[in-house]
Amino acid sequence: MAMLEINDLHVNYGMIAALKGISFEVNEGEVISLIGANGAGKTTTLHTLTGLISAKSGSIKFNGVELTKTPAHKIVEMGIAHVPEGRRIFQNLTVLDNLKLGAFTRKDKENIPKDIQDIYERFPRLAERKNQIAGTLSGGEQQMLAMGRALMKFLGCPIFSKCARVILDSKFSVPFIFGFAENNGIDMFDYEERMYRSFNDFFTRKIKPGRRFITKDKNLLVSPSDGKVTAYKITQSDTFIIKNAVYNTASLLRDSKLAKRYEGGYAVIIRLSVDDYHRYCYCADGVKSHNRKINGILHTVNPVVNNYLPVFKENSREYCMIRTEQFGDIIQMEVGALMVGRITNLHTEGGVKVTKGEEKGYFEFGGSTILLLLEKDKVKLCDDLLKNTREGFETKLLQGSVLGESLK
């Protein structure tokens, strides 16, 4: 059964027939475009789907539920949003208030602040203008707000993440690339020059050789990726604390015996924003174990540093152990974020010898996180990193930057 089914739909404006028996269906993960001349019925179709106009006859089913007799606000609650022509934002309210209204029907009120942060990450201009009256925004900014308001209904929904991935993998996403790079200050001079097949093809682009320096000193531990870095002590109860939120390494790894090995060590967290380079490498020389993959909800990673939700325990993640001579056994874990449909690791099998700086994998679109678990008394982390973390700051580092040195 298709997710959305329209069958023999007829819609009239008085005596004028606007739609004359149209039928189509949309399956989960598909992207459908309605193309036609002015007056062909594109807007009427969308208005009827979302309950703004009543159908004369025919059927509209969403996940098997008939919508033709369903009120518009109930259709929104079921998971359908409409970004209208003309934007229709609330002109006299602030950007923030508009986003909050997009989540008005949601029952998970505790998750709304983190989803607003995610919208700001997708549309940085909205973050800059969050307290500005919406009617004073430019046309393009108002369109961002209209899209962000619609997304506020679905950001915690796995189906939304799947649909977003399909769109970002398609050729229809190519026009988004230039504006995204410009708005996020991405210097394309650092990256390979080529044509991109999709937005995700652009997002996973490779950097030019020599743009990231990886030290050859085997006694230095390096950052596996670009990102904002913090480091937290793992307590005797196998927990580490981020901004007053407690994380348990056993639930994170789903292995209490393995978690015990990192008691007294450190959890190093590298948070990637959308403007960072989203390919990552191994942090040290060694032999890797088989990858363990843990499925979960694809929430945004950004709230980790805002004390909203323990996302590490809920997000899709994948990790391996790297057995090293200099730093003991390191856990390197990749955590997926909202709209990251795939974490792609290049080596999933165990017993593989890996080299510091060797590419390990990449994330697709979204803010993401890499977590390193370090055993007690194996690594001396950089003083600046620890000091900044204590004072509540993240340290911006590039892939290959030194995190610490061996205590052997």
Residue 37's CATH number: 3.40.50.300
Residue 45, domain extent:
4-78
Q: For residue range 50-63, what is the model confidence (pLDDT) as tens digits?
A: 888 889 999 999 88
> Is 158 contained in some domain?
no
Among 226, 238, 276, 285, the active-site one is: 226
pLDDT of res. 372: 96
Of 246, 224, 408, give the one whose Cα is nearest residue 331.
224
Q: Look at residue 352 in the predicted model and tell me its pLDDT.
A: 94
Which stretch, 6-10, 198-202, 329-333, 334-338, has highest mean pLDDT? 329-333
Taking only the tens place, the pLDDT of each residue in 163-212 is 666 777 888 888 878 888 887 788 888 898 889 999 889 988 999 988 99
Residue 167 contacts residue 31 (beta carbons within 8 Å):
yes
Q: What is the dihedral of CA 159, 165, 166, 169, to 10 degrees?
A: 180
**Which among 44, 78, 112 is the end of a domain?**
78
Region 210-217 average pLDDT: 92
179 belongs to a structural domain: no
Q: How many domains are contained in the chain?
A: 2
Residue 156's pLDDT band (boundaries 50, 70, 90)? low
Mean pLDDT of 271-284: 90
Last residue of a domain, one of 78, 97, 118: 78
pLDDT value for 89: 83
- Report yes or no on whether pTM surpasses 0.75: no
Between 239 and 151, the higher pLDDT residue: 151
305 pLDDT exceeds 70?
no
The active-site residue out of 316, 368, 401, 406 is 368
368 is catalytic: yes
Report the pLDDT value the prediction gives residue 219, as an integer from 0 to 100: 96
Residue 141: pLDDT over 60: yes
Range in 42-46, 153-157, 202-206, 233-237 with the lowest mean pLDDT = 153-157
Domain assignment present for residue 156? The answer is no
* Tens digit of each residue's pLDDT (9 = 90 or more) over 38-50: 888 888 988 889 8
Last residue of a domain, one of 33, 50, 78: 78
Least confident stretch, 144-148, 166-170, 176-180, 227-231? 166-170
* Residues shown for the chain: 408
* Residue 129, domain member (yes or no): no
373 domain residue, yes or no: yes
Torsion of CA 177, 180, 185, 190, to 10 degrees: -20
Mean pLDDT of the chain, nearest integer: 83
Residue 139: CB partners within 8 Å, gap ≥ 6? none
The Cα 368–Cα 363 span in angstroms is 7
User: Which of the two residues, 111 and 318, has the higher pLDDT score?
Assistant: 318
List, in order, residues 6 or more apart from 59 with CB less than 8 Å away: 5, 6, 7, 8, 9, 66, 68
